[in-house]
Amino acid sequence: MSDSPAAKPSVLFVCVHNAGRSQMAAAFLTHLAGDRIEVRSAGSAPADAVNPAAVAAMAEAGIDVSAETPKVLTVEAVRASDVVITMGCGDTCPVFPGKRYLDWKLDDPAGQGVEAVRPIRDEIERRVRGLIAELLPDPVRPQPLLDRRE
């Protein structure tokens, strides 16, 4: 009736605390791609809660991440993902042959106010949209959230 699960690409976003960048990226991908891409996020040393400035910045974009919780990075999560996108976790991510690894160099929003998190959020959205275009080369494109740019 629907696409087979094997046909659905899967993406894992990883940062150290799974409290900011990886949470925002996972939320954008889930929001923009819907159920067409399996989305996971994790951290090598998860924080106790998602960064409040990241929660506020995402709320401005119309996405509620307030109920999300940081998750620990597991070998199983990496093994189950087609694409692993790291964001400053260095060598702590396990590497498996046959996986696609990307490292997104992004400022760390930890300890920053929402004003500093906004440009990080916008860059993550831009990169996620590019990732969707790569993984889902079909005519169905995600709709814009908010036009926050000039």
pTM for the model stands at: 0.86
Query: What is the pLDDT, as a whole number, of residue 148?
Result: 53
Mean pLDDT of the chain: 88
The third-level CATH classification (topology) of the domain covering 5-135 is: Rossmann fold (3.40.50)
CA–CA gap between residue 105 and residue 9 (Å, rounded): 23
The 10s digit of each residue's pLDDT in 26-63 is 999 999 999 999 999 999 899 999 999 999 999 999 99
Burial state string for 114-141 with b = 16 or more CB within 10 A and e = fewer than 16: beebbebbebbbebbbebbeebbeeeee
Mean pLDDT of 90-112: 83
The token duo for 113 is: 């106010």
Query: What is the pLDDT, as a whole number, of residue 88?
Result: 75
Query: What is the pLDDT, as a whole number, of residue 26?
Result: 98
Residues involved in catalysis: 15, 89, 93
